[in-house]
Amino acid sequence: MSTENQHREELFSKAVKAGKRTYFFDVKETKAGEQYLTLTESKRRFDNNQGKFVYEKHKLFLFQEDFDKFLEGFNQAVGFINGEYIPEEEENEDDVQGDEVLKKMSDIEFDDLDS
């Protein structure tokens, strides 16, 4: 990733402090003019090797075409935690393909990984 992409100017930025973590919601724009969202979790922790506090950061890049599905999954997960959502037995094409990939992965022997 180039330095230009890493330092692309934010069109919108919102920081949310939540306990030991801070979440950053930053809207940026691609060279093609498409907007996307970066979600960053920043957590302060003490690094024994360095003898000082450091910030661990984890980023998620979310593109506009994925917003609806992301929000649906997010809202269902939060609803489940809050006791407001009870999942139905549903199986869609993505789930079936994911199950097939997991099954193939579970058939791998550790000896296969060395070759």
**Long-range contacts of 67-74, Cβ-Cβ distance < 8 Å, separation of 24 or more:** 67/37
> What letters, b where the CB count within 10 A reaches 16 and e where it falls short, cover 38-62?
beeebeeeeeeeeeeeeeeeeeeee
CA distances from 52 to 22, 55, 58 (A): 19, 10, 19
Residue 28 · residue 1 · CB < 8 Å: no
Tell whether 49 is covered by a domain.
yes
pLDDT tens profile 22-35: 999 999 999 999 99
Residue 11 · residue 29 · CB < 8 Å: yes
pLDDT (0 to 100) of residue 29 = 94
Tell whether 113 is covered by a domain.
no
Tell whether 51 is covered by a domain.
yes
Tell whether 108 is covered by a domain.
no
Tell whether 111 is covered by a domain.
no
pLDDT tens profile 26-85: 999 999 999 999 999 999 888 899 898 899 999 999 999 999 999 999 999 999 999 998
Range of the domain at 15: 3-103
User: Residue 16 maps to which CATH number?
Assistant: 3.10.450.700
Does position 88 have pLDDT exceeding 60, yes or no? yes
Tell whether 115 is covered by a domain.
no
CA distance 9 to 55: 22
Provide the domain count of the chain.
1
CA 4 to the chain's CA centroid: 22
Tell whether 86 is covered by a domain.
yes
Tell whether 58 is covered by a domain.
yes
